[in-house]
Structure 1
């Protein structure tokens, strides 16, 4: 659906239902881990190109258990592969949802910022003639104070 001005509301009940659904998802995945950057760097990665390799290796392991050392656990390999495949499907769905939430958040945040800039412009203009608005204009102007201070000064060539 093409982006247009978003005018939507989430009720408190909707927000709670979403939070509950997220908690349910997390509860169904009690084995999830948090890796450090260093741990992530050290791990083998199984992307799309490696998926066929892993699948074929699994088939080879299941068909030729006799060539593998006794310490190699084929059943654990099967379990890891199946879980990776399932988590990949879940991950894909979550990525799509996350992208939609991110895009919608960006859009409605932009709308709110645009409205705020309009209000700020009117407050600045009205503050020149309306008592009590100067303090509000100054407060709103704090948002841009650092930007004005960092603005490069124009130099004139002699």
Structure 2
């Protein structure tokens, strides 16, 4: 196995406590944050790059032609939502980038762990094949938990032919 160890680091207890406290502090500063279900996310109308121009036009028309604005629209609340959205967007990119970096780091760490596990598995499999004492029991235990795809039986293979 090639030494593909891209990460060799540790976090101390103080670092972990600081990071947890920092995340909690961020949440405390953002008490309005929501957690949506997958269904809710799917059902919501989205204000994105393509609809920003539409929103800007509506904003102007609502302000200049209030006679067409439905009575249930609270213009002050809509403006407050626009202002908060703008504020959140100021730091969202940095948080998103941090999230991506943490996710990428977890992926690399998982890869490094699994590659070591697979190398060990192959070694113990070969040891079991050669009849080395104790190897067969380890191999059978690991084989039952092997993360690879289940092997097809001869009957399943014949049915595909």
Give the superposed CA RMSD: 2.9
Q: Which residue number corresponds to residue 7 of structure 1?
A: 8
Q: Which residue of 2 aligns with 1:61?
A: 62
1:48-93 Cα offsets, whole Å, 9 max, x none, are 111232234324434x265346654221111010112222333322
Residue 125 to residue 69, structure 1, CA distance change in 2 (3 Å): closer
**TM-score normalised by the chain length of structure 1:** 0.76
Distance 2:139 2:85 in 1: 55
Structure 1 residue 114: Cα displacement = 0.6
Q: Tell me the alpha carbon deviations over residues 89-142 of structure 1, each in whole angstroms, 9 at most, x when there is no partner.
A: 333222211211111111111111111111122222334454233222222222
Structure 1 stretches of at least 4 aligned residues deviating more than 6 Å after TM superposition: none
Contact 1:58 1:77 in 2 (8 A): no
Q: 1:116 to 1:70 in 2, by over 3 A?
A: closer
Give distance in 1, aligned partners of 2:21 and 2:30. Answer: 14
Structure 2 unaligned blocks of 5 or more: none
Alignment of 1:104-115 (within 5 A): 104-115=105-116
Quick check: 1:137 aligned with 2:155? no
Question: Which of 1 and 2 has higher RCO (CA within 8 Å, sep 6+)?
Answer: 2
Aligned length: 152
List gaps (5 residues or longer) in structure 1.
none
Q: TM-score, length-normalised on structure 2? A: 0.75
Are 1:147 and 2:143 an aligned pair? no
